[in-house]
Amino acid sequence: MLTYLKKNLFFACALMLLAGWSQVVAQDVDLDQLIEKITETEKLFSGDLDVQYTCEYIRKERIGEPKNRPASPFRAYRYFTDKVHFVSQGEMFFSSTTKEHLYTDTFETIDNEPLVPELSKYFTQYNGKEITSVASSTLGVFAYLTDRDTTNHLHQSFPYKLAIPNSTFSSGKLSVAMQGYDKAKSDPALSKRLYNPYTIEIEELKSAEFPNHTRLTFQFHQSTTIEQHRLEDLGHREVFILNNAKNFLTERHEMYDPKFGSTTTPASAGTVLKWSQTTSGVWYPQQSLIQFFSTIQNGTKRIKKNWDRQYEYTIDDFSFSPEYDDVFFNQVQIPVDARVFKNGVELADMQ
């Protein structure tokens, strides 16, 4: 029966019409046991944590004179680099980002002159009583303003942040999402990016590439009620390949979106390139690569054969045992002309 459901999606959808949104369409792995194992891993990353990582964003642009640009070759260049330090210790936390941002208004600058980086810094710290945030540039202020409602987001989303940052579930816990759409929709961390219901398919993998893995597929549906549901209303699909031997962490993540004209070629794919272990034997993704193959040309969305832009994350230092004194979470170094916020309110507005 399960095999038939996997091969006949229309029949599976018909069952959902009769029985309501089914949590699992097909599975050959015990869902409850898998949720329990993933929850155990998430708990490991939800306590004290000290991590430093680097994120490099690479994008491609065509080079050459404007009149010849449509036929000119692509050139990849580093658009920005982030250096991030995050600490969670007891009830206190600290998050700091230094961004080296390379940008230009004209292609001639890219072709003929070296790009001059703009450095910006912003950080947020919580000493157990109040949240202080500092932004040293307009770019830093923007980053702070877009993140301040989820100040502790990095901590809540570990270890998914560095392997699947573009996932619908990257801001929360995968174990909660696996409990079904209604449960995920009621979760504050997940609900912000969750707009449509989904069904789940689980499959055990025993291949040369993934010898001891579990594939977890979330199929989203554009209709919000059963009565409206039709097969052609299928939305995007997310595939998580979990490494069973490495704390059931995601080793590969693929996003498929029919809006880009393909349900078989991923619009984006994230892969863990290198694993590492803590002294206590807990695995974490030391290096990961997220590539995007989707693009919009002349208003048309499509999938490209080669990547269009990519993020590469590298964890430089990782520990479950931070040992900072209280001064670390209270001492605020404010750069000249920086903007300072206390509990989300700019100090200038409080005077």
Residue 223, pLDDT score: 60
Q: Is the pLDDT of residue 52 over 80?
A: yes
Q: Which amino acid does the sequence have at 144?
A: Y
Residues paired with 204 in a beta bridge: 214
Residues paired with 96 in a beta bridge: 85, 123
Q: Is the pLDDT of residue 183 over 90?
A: yes
Contacts of 327 (CB under 8 A, 6+ apart): none
Banded pLDDT at 105 (limits 50, 70, 90)? very low
Burial of 202 (0-12, 13-18, 19+ CB in 10 A): buried
pLDDT mean over 175-179:
93
Closest among 222, 284, 214, 218 to 254, alpha carbons compared = 218
Residue 94, pLDDT score: 86
Residue 179, pLDDT score: 93
pLDDT mean over 68-75:
52
Q: How far apart are CA 310 and CA 304, in angstroms?
A: 13
Hey, what are 51's tokens?
Answer: 């991590």
Q: Is the pLDDT of residue 145 over 90?
A: no
Hey, what are 80's tokens?
Answer: 């920005």
pLDDT in tens, 108-144: 344 444 555 566 777 888 888 888 888 765 545 544 4
Burial of 115 (0-12, 13-18, 19+ CB in 10 A): middle
pLDDT in tens, 280-296: 889 999 999 999 887 77
**Measured torsion, CA atoms of residues 262, 268, 274, 279, in degrees rounded to the nearest 10:** -120
pTM of the model: 0.79
b (16+ CB within 10 A) / e for 60-99: beeeeeeeeeeebeeeeeebbbbebbbbbbeebbbbbbbb
Average pLDDT, the chain: 75
- Preceding omega of 159 cis (within 30 degrees of 0): yes
Please report, rounded to a whole number, the percentage of residues in the chain having pLDDT higher than 70: 68
Helix, coil or strand: residue 39: helix
Q: How far apart are CA 104 and CA 102, in angstroms?
A: 7
Banded pLDDT at 191 (limits 50, 70, 90)? confident
Closest among 273, 276, 271 to 51, alpha carbons compared = 276
